[in-house]
Amino acid sequence: MFKNYSLTTRVTTILVSITLLVFVGICLGGWFLFKEITTSPFRKALPATAEEVHEWSWNEPGPLSQDFSYMLAARISNQDFMNYVDQFDLSPYDQQMDVNAPSWSSGQQLNDDILDWWTPTESTEGTYVYATGSYWIYAKHENGYLFLYAYNI
């Protein structure tokens, strides 16, 4: 099979093949790394059975700014929701807490985006919260959907 190829041709073919494999490996590794870095921990924590996943985010421009808003909606079971709440150490919301009540409808229109998938009611019933300093996470399960709103101001 290789009788008509010189040693130089065979070595060149092998080197080109190895170079292509390394290049493809670097590209795939870069893609997976980019996906891992850019995927929100809230989305990563969703169960594999989550459906109809929607998210919206905003970050304050600037390298030193930590301000952000993030919204996530996904169809999950009630049991998956409770597991999700446990992952983020959320506590049931109580009117007596020193925590602002979430304004669930504030997400209907953000900037120029209209979020037709953001449909939680204003009720705080079934809301779970985590707050520390200026960082807040609110989550609730309504009509089969997880609604999560997280922000830092």
Tell me what pLDDT residue 51 has. 97
At 2, is the secondary structure helix, strand, or coil? coil
7: its two tokens? 């040693």
How far apart are alpha carbons 139 and 85 in whole angstroms?
A: 8
Per-domain boundaries in the chain: 1-38, 41-152
* Neighbouring-strand partners of residue 130: 137
> Residue 140: how many CB atoms within 10 A of its CB?
24
Residue 15 CB-half CA count within 13 A: 6
From first to last of the 153 residues of the chain, give the pLDDT tens digit: 555 667 677 777 777 778 777 776 665 655 555 445 556 889 999 999 999 999 998 887 777 777 888 999 999 999 999 999 999 999 998 876 666 667 776 655 555 567 889 899 988 889 999 988 788 899 999 999 999 999 887
Length of the chain: 153
